[in-house]
Amino acid sequence: MKPTLLILAAGMGSRYGGIKQMDSFGPGGETIIDYSIFDAIRAGFGKIVFVIRKDFAENFKNIFEQKLKGKVETAYVMQDLDAFTGGYEYSRERSKPWGTAHAVLCARDAIAEPFAVINADDFYGRDAFEKAYQFLVHEVSSKTWCIIGYQLAKTLSENGTVSRGVCQVDAEGNLVGIRERVKIYRDAGQIVFEENDTKTPLGEDTSVSMNFWGFHPDSFNFIQKEFQNFIRENGDKPKAEFFIPIIGDIFIKDQGGKIKVIPTSAQWFGVTYKEDAPGVKEKIRGLIDSGAYPENLWN
């Protein structure tokens, strides 16, 4: 059974200032998601599942349905605030979704095979998809997941600071934990993160998470159980979010699971800020000119 790619496309994009999941960056009007899907298909993935929101579902489907028809199986699921809450009366001040781990949970009825999870607005590179595919076909189990580890220097923005999950990795290449570092940027040639007005250097090759994970389908039961615990403890907090690293941490520390960190040398790029868009278009143009991608992905 071929693995599935789950694309998280329900986010708000507050810093970007729009629904960046549907913006065009390629010469044929391709979105960043198109390049991820193209890489996933040629790596061997057999199905694409999108997590989206009802308020832009029709426009989103109009963009992807026609271009992907006959090329790969697709499915769409909605990240609804009431999904999997078990009737819990959460704070009605909440307007944003519950977070990335809840988005994954919303796809449980659409996925029965090993699957990878990515963000819609990140360009991950072909190498990452090929390595994820190999893991999901040969190594994944109910007790072993994976995360693709990027070199920090290849994940920075030229237009502002970024937040990254810095991976703590043991001698066997397994994840020990993820430490969220905010305000990461290059200062006088060195990468630093800023906290309480103190700058701390980080190595160029520091392994960071860009939210590219690999899961066994049994993980849905675990995630649902942990979401029930989360909402009981945090349902009254309008801004509390149930992130994938939260379940990863519990999986390792309380469940005895392993999360293999698979390193990639791929160059990440994305659109954290509106000002990132021209640079992303330029980088895609360079990849096309180098032969990495065709001029028009789907024709």
Q: Where are the domains of the chain?
A: 4-289
pLDDT of residue 21: 56
Sequence letter at residue 268: W
Helix, coil or strand: residue 11: coil
pLDDT of residue 86: 87
At the top level of CATH, which class does the domain 4-289 belong to? alpha beta
In contact, 49 and 5? CB cutoff 8 Å: yes
Where helices occur in 52-192 by DSSP H, the ranges are 57-68, 100-105, 126-138
Backbone CA torsion sign across 147, 4, 14, 227 = negative
Backbone conformation region of residue 256, classed left if phi is above 0, alpha if psi is from -120 to 50, else beta:
left
Q: 290 Cβ partners below 8 Å, 6+ apart?
A: none
**Spatial distance between the Cα atoms of 22 and 65, rounded to a whole number of angstroms:** 13
**Spatial distance between the Cα atoms of 134 and 43, rounded to a whole number of angstroms:** 9
Instruction: Identify which of 101, 27, 111 has the alpha carbon closest to the alpha carbon of residue 74.
Output: 111
**Spatial distance between the Cα atoms of 160 and 138, rounded to a whole number of angstroms:** 39
pLDDT of residue 20: 54
pLDDT of residue 18: 44
3-state secondary structure 262-291: EEECCCCEECCCHHHHHHHHHHHHHHHHCC
**Spatial distance between the Cα atoms of 179 and 222, rounded to a whole number of angstroms:** 22
For the chain, what's the residue count? Answer: 299
Helix (H) or strand (E) holding 234: helix 219-234
Backbone conformation region of residue 27, classed left if phi is above 0, alpha if psi is from -120 to 50, else beta:
alpha
Q: Please tell me the pTM assigned to this model.
A: 0.93
Instruction: Identify which of 2, 10, 108 has the alpha carbon closest to the alpha carbon of residue 51.
Output: 10
| pLDDT tens, residue order, the chain (299 aa) | 899 999 999 874 433 334 555 688 999 999 999 999 999 999 999 999 999 988 888 888 988 998 999 999 999 999 998 999 988 888 888 888 899 999 999 999 999 999 999 999 899 999 999 999 999 999 999 999 999 999 999 999 888 999 999 999 999 999 999 999 989 999 999 999 999 989 999 999 999 999 999 999 999 999 999 999 999 999 899 989 999 999 999 999 999 999 999 999 899 988 878 888 899 999 999 999 999 999 999 98
**What does R_g of the chain's alpha carbons equal in angstroms?**
19
**Spatial distance between the Cα atoms of 111 and 98, rounded to a whole number of angstroms:** 20
* Residue 260 β-bridge partners: 146, 174
